[in-house]
């Protein structure tokens, strides 16, 4: 089956701009989580969406938001970009069971200048 | 605050050596512990541990969880250069319902295997 896809794969933005990243999960997987990975902070949980509702949220400012559509595809938006938002943004999906494996997409590398 | 600590942060070994990677945690509402391997791309799943004392094995890799002492270890025997990667430990909090839950990752252990 097809894996998790993320678009775009690379992105360069300037401070103050906003950005929208997209994630298409494996077919049938309804849980989509987003992570930020930086060399200094490692992998940090942003939020999880399940059945179009945000179910869990990490400790990120309100500039980071997301949504999920009825086909389980998810988007993440970052407004008023800051230099520190430069990172690899990963999404991961899981099936419906509580003990399902979480599968990661290839990530979107965002550079903020 | 939830915390996941991995040790050592980096490790350099030669092919054929056996390595043990450690992960300790302080998390409320623990559901499971996950191990991932990350090379120059997205993390790939290795193991999920939910019960204490039950070893999970896959080839040369094995892992075990101690829920009383709040730690897990990942063992790799007869290491190969292809095992060089960052190994990540993550703990899943039980968020209720059918959602996957909130993951807290450790800093990772950078393993380098020399020929």
Q: pLDDT, tens digit, for every residue of B62-80? A: 999 998 999 999 999 999 9
- Residue numbers in A near B104 (CB within 8 A): 45
Q: How large is the average pLDDT for residues B13-36? A: 94
Q: Does B105 sit within 8 Å of A45, measured CB to CB?
A: yes
Indicate which of A56, A95, A97 best probes the interface with B, i.e. most B CBs within 10 Å of its own CB. A56
CB B28 within 8 A of CB B2: yes
**What is the rounded average pLDDT for all residues in chain B?**
91
Q: How high is the pLDDT of residue B80? A: 97
Q: Is B57 exposed, middle or buried (0-12, 13-18, 19+ CB in 10 A)?
A: exposed
Shortest distance, CA B42 to any CA of chain A (angstroms):
5
Question: Is residue B23 pLDDT above 90, yes or no?
Answer: yes
B51 vs A: CB within 8 A:
no
| Model pLDDT, residue A1 | 58
* B17 — pLDDT class (breaks 50, 70, 90): very high
Each residue of B78-95: pLDDT tens digit? 999 999 999 999 998 876
In this predicted structure, what is the pLDDT of residue B2?
A: 87
pLDDT for A98 equals: 57
B58 touches A: beta carbon within 8 Å? no
CB contact under 8 A, A58 and B88: no
Taking 50 as the pLDDT cut, the residues of chain A under it are: none
The pLDDT, as a whole number, for residue A55 is 86
Q: Nearest 5°: phi and psi at A58?
A: -90, -170
Burial (0-12, 13-18, 19+ Cβ within 10 Å), B111:
buried
């Amino acid at each position: 089956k097809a894996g998790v896809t993320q678009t775009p794969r690379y992105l360069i933005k300037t401070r103050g701009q906003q950005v929208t990243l997209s994630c298409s999960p494996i077919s049938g997987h309804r849980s989509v989580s987003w992570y930020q990975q930086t060399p200094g902070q490692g992998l940090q949980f942003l939020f999880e969406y399940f059945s179009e509702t945000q179910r869990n949220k990490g400790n990120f400012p309100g500039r980071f938001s997301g949504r999920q559509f009825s086909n389980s595809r998810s988007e993440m938006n970052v407004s008023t970009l800051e230099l520190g938002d430069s990172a690899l943004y990963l999404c991961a999906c899981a099936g419906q069971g509580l003990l399902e494996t979480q599968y990661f997409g290839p990530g979107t590398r965002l550079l903020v200048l | 605050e939830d915390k996941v600590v991995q040790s050592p942060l980096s490790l350099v070994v030669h092919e054929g050596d056996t390595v043990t990677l450690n992960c300790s945690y302080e998390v409320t509402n623990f559901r499971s512990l996950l191990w991932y391997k990350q090379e120059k791309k997205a993390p790939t799943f290795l193991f999920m541990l939910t019960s204490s004392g039950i070893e999970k094995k896959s080839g040369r890799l094995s892992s075990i969880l101690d829920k009383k002492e709040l730690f897990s270890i990942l063992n790799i025997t007869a290491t190969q250069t292809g095992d060089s990667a960052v190994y990540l430990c993550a703990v899943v909090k039980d968020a209720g319902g059918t959602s996957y839950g909130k993951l807290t990752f450790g800093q990772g252990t950078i393993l380098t295997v020399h020929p």
